[in-house]
Structures are given as structure tokens and as C-alpha cells.
Amino acid sequence: MEKLRARIATSGVRDADQVRRMLSEVLVEALQPGWERSVRALPHSGRPAVVLVVGVNGTGKTTTTGKLARVLVADGRQVLLGAADTFRAAAADQLATWAERVGSVVVRGREGADPASVAYDAVRQGIEREADAVLVDTAGRLHTKTGLMDELGKVKRVVEKQAEVDEVLLVLDATTGQNGLVQARVFSEVVDVTGIVLTKLDGTAKGGIVFQVQRELGVPVKLVGLGEGPDDLAPFEPGAFVRALLD
């Protein structure tokens, strides 16, 4: 609002439509598009790109992992999925179904196995098989549970013993509101989040929280989830996002 007021004052604009257009410009400038600097553009020099998918329960991590694999496979990449959610056998089954659907391979551990060891194994197999990308789906965890957050930090550290983690994607549900900022803060502290995936934007939620996440943490939204199907993942476009927000 400060920026908008300053612009109105310096331009002398009075017309409501013009002010609305200015507001739209200010909002678009506050958001960075991120996809072009994301997984798609990662250098694939002799080792797979490693991506960790993290977030609280039910935000859409597994679905996003599957859809992202589909995008990369369509780009001609060989993709391996790591099922580091070892709490629920159903979670690994869900990821295996996605792997089959999109044409990638899944690495999973037994139920109750150490998630860090499954993630390590997935990356090792990705290196051995000369995959282009390893996408590691992690279990949903509340940012307020210290033990679970410590476990996530360990997953990243263990993976880093054999390959750099190129992307840590935090999956945020667009319907979450202010709590999304708290989640982003805590996950960023623990695993250094590099991008946000804003899911469930196909509903009524607009996901306005990403302005604060971008401003406070400097983490851009890279992808948006627009439904439950395999093709419902799109690069984040600030212009379209702001148009939907102001409509």
C-alpha cells in the first residue's frame, strides 16, 4: 500500500481503474517467477538433480511429486521417486501408483524404516542408474513438532552426504492463510526451502499469503497445483496470479 500511495501521489492519477492497474503492477513486482530457475533448468552434469518435497500433512506433497515427475518425464528426463514417507505404507503405495502412471521408478523402504535411509538409498540408486532427477517425497509433519522437524533436517543432511540437494520445495495449501507463513518460516529454518508449491488453487482460495512468504523469507513460488490430475501442475505466473487475486 505504501508503494501504491507513493505512485498515486507522484503520477497524480485519480481514476479508479488506473489505480487498480497500478495496484496490480505493485503486486506483480512483489513476486518473483521461479520455475525457469527451478528443476527444469538444473544442470545435469553427471549426477541427478535432487529435490526434496516437504510440508505439513495433506497439503499435496505426494500429488505434487507425481505431477512434477510427469513434467520432467515429458521433457525427456529419467526420474526416480523416493518414498521417504515411511509412516504410512499407503503413502508409498500412492507414490508407486504415480510412478507407474508417469513412467518413473520408485524406491521405497519398509514401513517404519528410517526416512533418511530411504532418501539416501533413492539418491544412491538415482546416481547408479544415471537418472536425471531424484524426487524425494517426505512424510507430512506439523512444523510445531520438534522431533519430526529434526527428523526432516536429518533426511536432508544424510542425502547431502552423496549429492547436493538442488531444490527443497515446500508444498503450501492455498487455503491455509496466515499459518502458511509460520510453516514457511519453520521449514526454512530446518531445511532451507528454495521454492514454494502453492496447491489447491483450483478452489476458492487465492493464496495471498505468498506475498508475505516472498517478502519475509525471499522464497519464490515456483509451481501451482490446479487440481488432482497428472496435468494439473503449472509454473507460477505472477501476472495471472494477481489477476485472479483482484478479480
Ligand X SMILES: Nc1nc2c(ncn2[C@@H]2O[C@H](COP(=O)(O)OP(=O)(O)OP(=O)(O)O)[C@@H](O)[C@H]2O)c(=O)[nH]1
56 marked among binding-site residues: yes
Give yes or no for residue 152 binding ligand X (CB under 6 A). no
Query: Is 239 annotated as contributing to ligand binding?
Result: no
As measured in angstroms, the least distance from the Cβ of 69 to ligand X is 13
* Binding letters toward ligand X, positions 119-148, x by CB under 6 A: --------------------xx--------
Using the rule CB under 6 A, is 235 a contact of ligand X?
Answer: no
Q: How far is CA 52 from the centre of its chain?
A: 9
Do the bridges between strand 233-235 and strand 221-225 make them parallel or antiparallel, or are there none, so unpaired? antiparallel
Count of residues that interact with ligand X, criterion CB under 6 A: 21
The DSSP string of 200-240 is: -TTSS---TTHHHHHHHH-PPEEEEE-SSSTT-EEE--HHH
Q: Considering only residues 80 through 119, tell me which ones interact with ligand X, judged by CB under 6 A.
A: 85, 91
Contacting ligand X (CB under 6 A), which of 31, 39, 59, 131?
A: 59
Q: Compare residues 23 and 226 and give the one whose CB is closer to ligand X.
A: 226
Q: Which residue is nearest to ligand X (CB)?
A: 140
Is 55 labeled as ligand-binding? yes
DSSP 3-state of 24:
helix
Q: Does 62 bind ligand X (CB under 6 A)?
A: yes
Only one of the segments 11-19, 32-40, 54-62, 102-110 lies at the binding site for ligand X (rule: CB under 6 A); that segment is 54-62
Distance CA 138, CA 219 (A): 20
Which of 226, 234, 235, 245: binder of ligand X (CB under 6 A)? 226
Query: What whole-number distance in Å separates Cα of residue 151 and Cα of residue 105?
Result: 25
Chain centroid to CA 193: how far? 9
Backbone angles phi, psi at 223, to 5 degrees: -140, 155
**Counting contacts by CB under 6 A, is residue 228 touching ligand X?**
yes
For residue 31, give the DSSP letter. S
Which residue type occupies 104? S
Stretch that binds ligand X, among 4-12, 42-50, 158-166, 222-230 (CB under 6 A): 222-230
Binding ligand X (rule: CB under 6 A), the pick from 47, 70, 77, 200 is 200
Which of 137, 140, 141 has the alpha carbon at shortest distance from 92?
137
214 binds ligand X (CB under 6 A): no
128 C-beta neighbours (distance < 10 Å), count: 9
* Spatial separation of the C-alpha atoms in residues 44 and 22, rounded to whole Å: 41
- The binding site comprises 55-62, 137-141, 199-202
| Residue ranges binding ligand X (CB under 6 A) | 55, 57-63, 85, 91, 139-140, 199-200, 202-203, 225-228, 232
- The binding site for GTP comprises 55-62, 137-141, 199-202
